[in-house]
Structure 1
């Protein structure tokens, strides 16, 4: 009787953990969608120049204050966060797609394909991460396309190694061996057996890669190799604020930086919730 009671309690705890993870995932996803779409719809007039309102500290009327040109820093920050979210989403999805194609392809084909993929992984991992992104961004022509390609081309390496190792392990599974003995081709096995096992893990990795992509985009922009200064990206805002922090205008850098940090933490929490849903064992923790 006691064993049955413990078992029911474990099931209830597991269900509550997964339900909590689902609620957190939905709420954070709605928040990110709202910021991404709502921020993109903010007109330029919302953060237009008003020199008569310059250098106002945070207040009820201007929660993030105004800059040296009288622009509303809250509207500029929301607009910049929407740009960062869209760039991070694109870079994460492309990086995951590259990792899946190379990881599965290397494990399925083997031979010279596997050697080339491992060489590419070692090549990208051997380069300084930030320098490689700067090089790609300059090569493409900077701007938003340069940042997107630069971030996407440097974040697939770790997932590709995991996908390759998982696929090699799956090749020795009984159902894969049985499918091969039934005459199924290697690409059928990859599509029917490997991808269903790997895609959930890749999906979690995409969400966890999201905040890294956003931070690297902001870092590139802060250093002057990313989004042009005409756009109110968070990296542009932080770079511009460095010239005015010594004058006491602390809000120009602190509040947008905290907003960026909050978004990164929210996305990271979203990834943890998704992992709890994909992995039943994680939901019990």
Structure 2
């Protein structure tokens, strides 16, 4: 009895520590997002203007991140680029979650034929590399910020949709769902009232896991020059342009934007992992 009690106590302590880590990660991620948005608004667009008299300046108190070959302030460009990447990542991840939830619920509630069609579509989408499909969709949609956002929306949902489909299939076999069906509840009502509320934790975790992937893919597309205008302050564009000047010793052009992108991705990846451990049934109390 003492051993069993100690095991339960240990598991409870571990779960409490996991909750504290998740709460701390959530607070830090929210502060980070708010800080990027506030700094982007406070800095304005003055630092993005060309000032040839200030070009190629190393980091200093006047220009904390230095300046580029056109005299543009790298702190302003980095913050603006991160804000743009976060905006595209949030939009793409949110729309991908909506598509995944819709597909998963349709596959579970509309019968075997629809389930087979959606499963086939998921397999087809997952068989093509994300970056290749993203480039094709962005090109078809005319490129630019709109093309990248649409490409991210339409390429990041399949893996989450497969998980949601499996969870929804298990819920469809639950007694309360069977009773609701026998009492005459429609498939739409079952999906909205009985399935969707139980899938919210998985959808939230999926959103937090998809967000860093969306940010990285946005940076990759703009790095390749297939997205936006070179004059727009996107992280991928900044890193791509800085490659030509690293050999001349202008290290700050790539280091600060790269660190900003790394911190953004790592923070939300860590938050997603903590939250996933909390909703994973294998980590519940004994």
- TM-score, with length taken from structure 1: 0.91
Runs of 4+, deviation exceeding 6 Å:
none
Deviation of 1:114 (Å): 1.8
Q: Tell me the residue number matched to 1:170.
A: 171
Q: Tell me the residue number matched to 1:91.
A: 92
User: Which structure 2 residues correspond to residues 1-285 of structure 1 after superposition, within 5 A?
Assistant: 2=2, 7-8=8-9, 10-279=11-280, 282=283
Q: Aligned partners of 1:36, 1:206: CA distance in 2, in Å?
A: 20
Deviation of 1:275 (Å): 2.8
Query: Which stretch of the first structure deviates more once superposed, 6-15 or 99-108?
Result: 6-15
Q: Aligned partners of 1:134, 1:24: CA distance in 2, in Å?
A: 32
Q: Contact between 2:18 and 2:274, CA under 8 Å: does it hold in 1?
A: no
Deviation of 1:7 (Å): 4.6
Q: Aligned partners of 2:156, 2:215: CA distance in 1, in Å?
A: 12
Q: Contact between 1:133 and 1:151, CA under 8 Å: does it hold in 2?
A: yes
CA RMSD of aligned residues (A): 2.1
Deviation of 1:62 (Å): 2.5
Deviation of 1:10 (Å): 4.6
Change (3 A) 1:125 1:193: same
Q: Contact between 1:36 and 1:81, CA under 8 Å: does it hold in 2?
A: no
Q: Aligned partners of 1:250, 1:173: CA distance in 2, in Å?
A: 59
SS of 2:43's partner is coil
Q: Aligned partners of 1:265, 1:39: CA distance in 2, in Å?
A: 20
- Structure 2: runs of 5 or more not aligned: none
Q: Aligned partners of 1:56, 1:62: CA distance in 2, in Å?
A: 8
Q: Aligned partners of 2:38, 2:284: CA distance in 1, in Å?
A: 30
Kindly provide the CA deviation profile for residues 79-135 of structure 1, in whole angstroms up to 9, marking residues without a partner as x.
100000000000000000000101110111023322221222122122232121111
Q: Aligned partners of 1:18, 1:283: CA distance in 2, in Å?
A: 12
Q: Aligned partners of 1:207, 1:34: CA distance in 2, in Å?
A: 19
Kindly provide the CA deviation profile for residues 244-275 of structure 1, in whole angstroms up to 9, marking residues without a partner as x.
12222122112211211111101112212333
- Structure 1: runs of 5 or more not aligned: none
Change (3 A) 1:187 1:251: same
- TM-score, with length taken from structure 2: 0.91
